[in-house]
Structure formats: structure tokens, C-alpha cells
């Protein structure tokens, strides 16, 4: 059920406070549009943003954070379409079903909620009683939902999964989860720095690989491949070939705990973390080829399509970066053409973490 939204600040008070629903802020970076989500508490505090999901139909962006709600925005103008209430704690992860018909959300309250598009995003189902859930994802055909959190189990929900033995990861703090496009693998990783590969159909464990020296915070499969990219708090992004079972690249960002990764195109990645900077990475070269600055808090989440890169931050903003402008900028061309790309070390304190 879509609950009524709590009372906002009055129009005059909201204007004075500087918070208006999805109004653009002045951005330091000319290719980024920046917004803050409208506050829902009486103090007028906009939410920290740690969950983003892009509608596969190209229309919407879903955002969540520490205000316990989900804000549904239009991708084109970032205007707000709906606010979904149903969680009672920090919203940690969002995912659209590949056909765009459902939105899944997980939070620290242990709930996994499915929201149905054709009924104005009303709740279709709520699964309760789990641990705090940090990540939710759909399988490529949308038949299985995966979730991980503060529990050693990888939860797979869907046809023929109820009789399956628990999929154990041996770690009580799991943060990363992704399915490969072929559905050959589902990956999970967390505090131990180990990558776990499972067969999502049979539930069989395919292997465990020690890739990081600290907690893994996010991970993706490169599109159309069985290759994972995981990022960890030791400041490394690791590219791992799941078929050959070997590390292809290890990219280090000195002085930065990495929290988020998103694929931009076949060649490039975006990484974000505790030093407030987004790093653009050439996958084949294993090199930093550019930086996007403007956030004043840790970058906790990234997601991209062919047109935009979206970033959510502890500074309570969402930034929409125009990829055509970013990738065509003179500074990007200068860095990409350099023989030895510069890798800048953060000067910011590591205290700016979750």
C-alpha cells in the first residue's frame, strides 16, 4: 500500500531553508545537475542518499536513504513522481526488475518490499523477518530475487528455490551482490574480502576467491561477460574472470575507501568512495583516466545508463552527470592520451565514512 506522505515544511519555510522538492542546486561541475530530495521530517533535513536504481524503460530513477522512504524521480528533469513509504529504517538498496514492472527495496529493518509499477508503485509483497539487508538484485530474466545483508546467507527467492539448502557465504556482513547477464553466476561478497560465486539455478557453490584485504562494498558483472568488478575499503577495484578463475586487473586508489562501482560502457567504469571523488577507470589499462568532483561527502552509490551517470552521496545530494559531456571533455582527452595517467591521492580525512 502506498501510504500518505508526512507533512512537509510550508512553502515559505521550505524556501527559507533552501529545500524544495527536487529543485536543482548550483553545481561545481558544469556537466552535472545536482538535486537534494525534499525532506520529510519536521526539522527539514534532506536524506543521505545510499540507494539508486535506474528504470530499464528509461523513464525513472528511484532513490533511497536514511529517511526510510523511496523517492521516484523522472530521469529527464529529476522531478518527483512519488514517495513510497513502507520501510522503518535506512533504505540500503533498490533494483528494478529487467522489464521495469517491479521495484525491489531492502533496508536495515530486514524487509524486502516489491512495488508494482502498474498500480502507481503500491506494495505488491513485503517479506519480513530477515536481517538488515544491504543489497537486492533481480536475475536477468526477473524470475529470481537475490538479497544479502548482516547474515552469512545469500537469499535467492523465486521458483524452485524454496527447497534449496541455504547458500552460505561464511561472513555475517555481506554487501555486494550481482547476477551475470547469462545467469551463469550470482556473486556475493562482504567483510572477509572473498568473492563467492554460485550457480543461481542449482545453488551450487562454484568457488570462493580471496580478492580484497578488507570489506567488499560493491560489485558488478561486466555486461555480457562472466567477469566481476568488486571494490573494497582497502581502496582497490579488482577485475576477476569468473570462467578462468583469475584476476585480470587490480586498480588502486590510494587513500580512498571505495564504496561503489558502476559500468559506463565496454571500456570504462566509475568508482566512488570516501574521498568524495568519482574516478573514471579504463578497464583494459587498469588506469584512472579522469575524476569527477563536486560532492562534499562520501559517494555511496553509483548507477549508469547510456546517457547519464548518477551518484548519491552522504552530502545529501544526487548528481546526474551527462556522459557525452564527461567523456568528450578536453581534460578527459588529455588524460586518456597520457603515457602515464595521473593517480591522485586523496587529501581528505578517512573519517568521512559510514
Which strands, in side-by-side order, build the sheet including 122-127?
A: 91-96, 102-107, 112-116, 122-127
Domain positions in the chain are: 47-336
Q: Which is more confidently placed, 137 or 10?
A: 137
CB 63 within 8 A of CB 49: yes
pTM: 0.86
pLDDT at 331: 60
pLDDT digits (tens, 9 = 90+) for 158-203: 886 666 778 999 899 999 999 999 999 999 999 999 999 999 999 9
- Within 13 Å of residue 159, how many CA atoms lie on the same side as its CB? 4
Q: Of all helices (H) and strands (E), which one includes residue 189?
A: strand 186-190
Cell output for 123: 506494495
pLDDT reported for residue 8: 30
Residue 76 has pLDDT above 70, yes or no: yes
pLDDT in tens, 282-314: 999 999 999 999 999 999 999 999 999 999 999
In the prediction, which pLDDT does 109 show? 97
* DSSP for residue 349: -
pLDDT score of 40:
83
- Residue 337 pLDDT exceeds 80: no
Question: In sequence order, which residues have a C-beta less than 8 Å from that of residue 49 and are 6 or more positions away?
Answer: 37, 63, 64, 65, 300, 301, 312, 313, 314, 316, 317, 318
CATH superfamily for domain 47-336: YVTN repeat-like/Quinoprotein amine dehydrogenase (2.130.10.10)
What pLDDT does residue 284 have?
92
Give me the mean pLDDT over the 47-76 stretch.
97
Residue 243 has pLDDT above 70, yes or no: yes
The string of DSSP codes covering 10-67 is PHHHHHHHT--TTPEEPPSSTTEEEEEPPP-STT-PPPPEEEEEE-TTSSEEEEEETT
Amino acid at each position: 500500500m502506498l501510504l500518505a506522505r508526512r507533512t512537509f515544511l510550508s512553502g515559505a519555510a521550505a524556501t527559507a531553508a533552501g529545500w524544495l522538492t527536487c529543485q536543482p542546486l548550483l553545481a561545481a561541475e558544469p556537466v552535472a545537475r545536482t538535486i537534494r530530495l525534499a525532506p520529510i521530517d519536521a526539522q527539514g533535513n534532506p536524506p543521505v542518499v545510499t540507494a539508486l536504481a535506474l528504470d530499464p524503460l528509461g523513464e525513472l530513477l528511484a532513490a533511497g536513504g536514511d529517511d526510510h522512504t523511496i523517492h521516484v524521480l523522472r530521469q529527464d528533469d529529476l522531478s518527483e513522481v512519488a514517495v513510497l513509504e513502507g520501510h522503518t529504517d535506512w533504505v540500503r538498496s533498490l533494483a528494478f526488475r529487467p522489464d521495469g514492472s517491479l521495484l525491489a527495496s531492502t533496508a536495515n529493518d530486514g524487509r524486502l518490499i516489491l512495488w508494482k509499477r502498474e498500480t502507481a508503485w503500491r506494495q505488491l509483497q513485503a517479506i519480513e523477518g530477515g536481517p538488515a539487508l544491504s543489497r537486492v538484485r533481480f536475475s536477468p530474466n526477473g524470475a529470481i530475487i537475490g538479497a544479502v545483508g548482516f547474515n552469512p546467507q545469500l537469499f535467492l527467492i523465486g521458483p524452485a528455490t524454496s527447497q534449496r539448502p541455504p547458500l552460505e557465504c561464511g561472513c555475517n556482513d555481506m554487501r555486494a551482490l550481482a547476477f551475470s547477464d547469462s545467469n551463469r553466476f550470482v556473486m556475493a561478497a562482504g567483510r572477509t574480502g572473498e568473492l563467492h560465486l554460485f550457480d543461481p539455478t542449482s545453488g551450487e557453490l562454484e568457488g570462493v576467491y580471496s580478492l580484497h584485504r578488507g570489506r567488499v562494498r560493491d560489485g558488478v558483472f561486466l555486461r555480457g561477460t562472466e567477469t566481476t568488478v568488486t571494490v573494497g575499503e582497502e581502496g582497490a577495484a579488482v577485475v576477476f574472470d569468473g570462467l578462468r578463475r583469475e584476476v585480470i586487473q587490480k586498480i588502486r586508489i590510494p587513500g580512498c575507501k571505495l564504496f561503489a562501482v558502476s559500468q559506463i560502457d565496454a571500456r570504462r567504469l566509475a568508482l566512488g568512495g570516501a574521498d568524495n571523488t568519482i574516478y573514471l577507470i579504463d578497464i583494459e589499462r587498469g588506469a584512472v583516466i579522469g575524476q569527477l568532483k563536486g560532492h562534499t561527502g562520501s559517494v555511496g552509490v553509483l548507477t549508469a545508463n547510456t546517457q547519464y551517470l548518477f551518484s548519491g552521496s552522504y552530502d545529501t545530494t544526487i548528481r546526474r552527470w551527462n556522459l557525452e559531456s564527461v567523456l568528450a571533455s578536453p581534460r578527459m582527452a588529455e588524460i586518456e592520451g597520457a603515457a602515464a595517467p595521473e593517480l591522485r591521492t586523496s587529501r581528505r580525512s578517512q573519517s568521512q565514512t559510514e
